Structure 1
Amino acid sequence: MTTLTSTDAAPAGAATPAAEALALKLAATRRRVGALESSAHRRNSFMPYTPVAGTPYVELDGQRLLMMSGYSYLGLAGDPRLAAAAARAVDTYGTGAHGVRALAGTTPLHQELEAEVARFTERESALVFSSGYAANVGTIGALCGPGDHVFVDKLDHASIVDGCQLSGATVTRFRHNDPEHLDSRLRAAPATGVRLVVVDSVYSMDGDVAPLPALREVCDAHGALLMVDEAHALGVIGATGRGIEEHYDRQVRVDVKLGTLSKGIPSMGGWVAGSPDLVYHLRYGARPFLFSAALAPAQCGAALEALRILDREPHRVAHIQSESARFRTAMTDVGMRVGDSTTAVVPLIIGTDTQAYDYATTCREEGVVGLPVVTPAVPNGLARLRIAITAAHTSEHVDTAIDAFVRAAERRAVARA
């Protein structure tokens, strides 16, 4: 055993090389964010919004603002039916789980929720995780490892990318929504082990939809499995909100479907749906599922009720689709850039990070919240406000937002297309 002598130890109060390296990282974050949020008025991140019950408005520092960047696509956040379901779950099962699902954490409510997810997504079985992030990381890690190959769209969500890197599999990226490039990548890769292609259904920064039929054709030609993340698709695309397969009139099916319970479904958690064998394997092989506490009863109860409401009230989906189309048209008509969006996720592409923060701050002065997304989440020069049209937005709300965004663009001299 080696013992440090007094001459080996760093002097009291002296910074070690590791501490100095960490300090540089911490300072860099302070500088980067501080340059964008140089005053309290310019703050756009981690703001404590208070929802105004039954409306798409929030309150901030005594000001009532129209929220246009929230993820409760179905307009069910705060719905009294969900609150009652959550309360019933707490009354029966308590406020938390007794442990992980494999041990004392599983309740009849978890099984009921999983059965409803499976039914709604038109699969035989489903598994509920503590978050959508955990579902992606856990599923990819359980399906792939050293010797296997994962192919990911360049714009896939960070949870997909992290799951691929942690899995130990060989990871290959292909150009966004480009089946031909995927085909060339698959041709160049060894035809050994598991070959898994992973895409988002709706891309969270751009609002465009994956070309599922073409991707399925390429995967079938190369014997690859196809997995889609429906995080921004459930309740948003498809005639009844069932996601990308319904969006393409069920022309093709995917091998692994997963998504969240925290966007269109305003609760917490993630889900994976597929064959009974797949779900059985994930129960024992997906580490974020196996080693995380079970989803809390209140979240299970709220999610279960939201899925049932979505099934009964598909008019919410139709409203989202019609109002988001109207919003996109109005924005492009005045020269705003919305990229390739065809869904409820509508980017207002502004330019530099600073310009996006300037514009977001001015929008708030006009009474609407449009939150900026900057590098590294998006490429340099393509910073944007990410707008989400929900079922809680009436036509009047959308008109109000359009007027506010246009006035803010005029005040900031935002470059038009």
Structure 2
Amino acid sequence: MNASGGWGRLEHRLDAIARRMRSLEWGDEYRRASFVPYDMEPDQPYVTVDGRRLLMMSSYSYLGLAGDQRVIEAATTAVEHYGTGNHGVRALAGTIPLHEELEAELAAFVGRESALVFTSGYAVNTGVIASMFGPDDTLLVDKTVHASLIDGAKLAGATVIRWRHNDPEHLDRKMHEVQSTGLRVVVVDSVYSMDGDIARLPEIREVADRWGALVMADEAHALGVIGKTGRGIEEHYGRDDLVDVKVGTLSKGIPSMGGWVAGPERLMLFLKYHARPFLFSAALGPAQAGAALEALRILDQEPERVTHIQRESARLRSTLVDAGIDVGQSETAVIPIICGSDGAAYDYAMAVKGAGVIGLPVLTPAVPNNLARLRISVTARHSPADVDLAANAFRLAAYQTHLIAA
């Protein structure tokens, strides 16, 4: 590579992360702890790392279906019937019957007329926002929404106004700042992935209606997690009129890959021809579509998985709070253990690992300064005994690292 050419001018950007890691006394250890390949047990919430069997408490597979034999068989059957890939993009030979079955059942499950499946949640969020909105529009975005929603707003060229996390009163004040006569769109996560709290959607909807705004909600961490049967934020609040555009993933509660958007049928028609990540990306693979469809059907048939998640996560939160551990505003399966500095979070994660549990640290800039944390989640695979084991490990590690007083 020519160091004096374009590559040389790129070096300072590539060096930025290395400089940051070198500035931390524990940087080398953290690099060795990042991007670790975990040998997952298909039917248990345990992983093997360096020959040790450890309880995984940072999984996104909320429903515990990633190793479910029914889901595996559905993926295998799809591959046997359709092959390992599709013949093109959805518009040109890439659509298979599984796509349309999945879209129809997703729409019905989340209470919408129609749905569309993309190849990832990131593609959904960027594609939907960038195609639906433009430079004349204003997106009022909760400060802690997923990065993909912000990226979609940038691609749209829309004005972005960020409001304090889960604060409808601040959203109302920010509405006064909107200068454009274009569309106003309020963007929230139903469940916030690093805090585990739920959007105050009834109040947010009131603000949106007062200003004639649309509401878009990302159900990525809500599907299978909140609501009596795991249908997300509207079921949680007992209303069906809170969200105009719903988006979500197929890679968390639903243990596959891909993303989805649901809404009026005419909106799905529009997105088929205008959402570039849908129109110009290869279609979702048969195995992923088959696995997602079967997992969705299991969720529909086994709502007790949702009940288990809600009961055991509430019990773990209560145990941690009683021990003096800060879990922020969590009210779902996602439980942050707030440590403070990046170094404190890393040290705590290593102490937890020493006690037989994996709890992964989330550091700046993914979270604000001095709010580094372990991101914990309870899944349907965690038995009450697993939750007790984890709680004991978190308490012991908190004493060892002086996160709480002995």
TM class, shorter-chain normalised?
over 0.9
User: Does 1:307 pair with 2:296?
Assistant: yes
Alpha-carbon distance in 2 for matches of 1:13, 1:151: 44
- The residue that corresponds to 1:25 in the other structure is 13
User: Does 1:92 pair with 2:96?
Assistant: no
What is the Cα deviation at residue 354 of structure 1?
1.0
Q: Which runs of 5+ in 1 are unaligned?
A: 1-11
SS of residue matched to 2:33: coil
User: Does 1:243 pair with 2:232?
Assistant: yes
- The residue that corresponds to 2:156 in the other structure is 167
User: Does 1:156 pair with 2:145?
Assistant: yes
- The residue that corresponds to 2:258 in the other structure is 269
Among 372, 387, 391, the alignment partner of 2:361 is 372
**Match of 1:228, as an amino acid?**
A
SS of residue matched to 1:198: strand
1:173-229: per-residue Cα shift (whole Å, max 9, x none)?
111111111112223313522211110000001000001101111111111100000
Aligned runs of 1:1-400 on 2, under 5 Å? 15-16=4-5, 18-34=6-22, 35=24, 38-39=27-28, 43-190=32-179, 192-250=181-239, 252-400=241-389
- The residue that corresponds to 1:405 in the other structure is 394
**Match of 1:66, as an amino acid?**
L
Contact 2:217 2:246 in 1 (8 A): yes
Give aligned pairs, total: 405
**Match of 2:79, as an amino acid?**
V
Alpha-carbon distance in 2 for matches of 1:56, 1:393: 6
Contact 1:74 1:264 in 2 (8 A): yes
SS of residue matched to 2:43: coil
Worse-superposed segment, 340-349 or 41-50? 41-50
TM-score by length of 1: 0.94
TM-aligned CA distance change 1:295 to 1:251, over 3 Å: closer
TM-aligned CA distance change 1:126 to 1:37, over 3 Å: farther
Contact 1:44 1:371 in 2 (8 A): no
**Match of 2:20, as an amino acid?**
R
SS of residue matched to 1:252: coil
Contact 2:337 2:374 in 1 (8 A): yes
**Match of 1:376, as an amino acid?**
P
1:72-114: per-residue Cα shift (whole Å, max 9, x none)?
0001011000000001100111101111101110011100000
TM-score by length of 2: 0.97
Q: RMSD between aligned alpha carbons? A: 1.6
Alpha-carbon distance in 1 for matches of 2:405, 2:292: 41
Q: Which runs of 5+ in 2 are unaligned?
A: none
Alpha-carbon distance in 2 for matches of 1:183, 1:314: 36
Contact 2:111 2:240 in 1 (8 A): no
Worse-superposed segment, 255-264 or 175-184? 175-184
Contact 2:399 2:405 in 1 (8 A): no
What is the Cα deviation at residue 343 of structure 1?
0.4
Alpha-carbon distance in 1 for matches of 2:405, 2:215: 38
Alpha-carbon distance in 2 for matches of 1:276, 1:41: 47
Contact 2:88 2:282 in 1 (8 A): yes
**Match of 1:364, as an amino acid?**
K
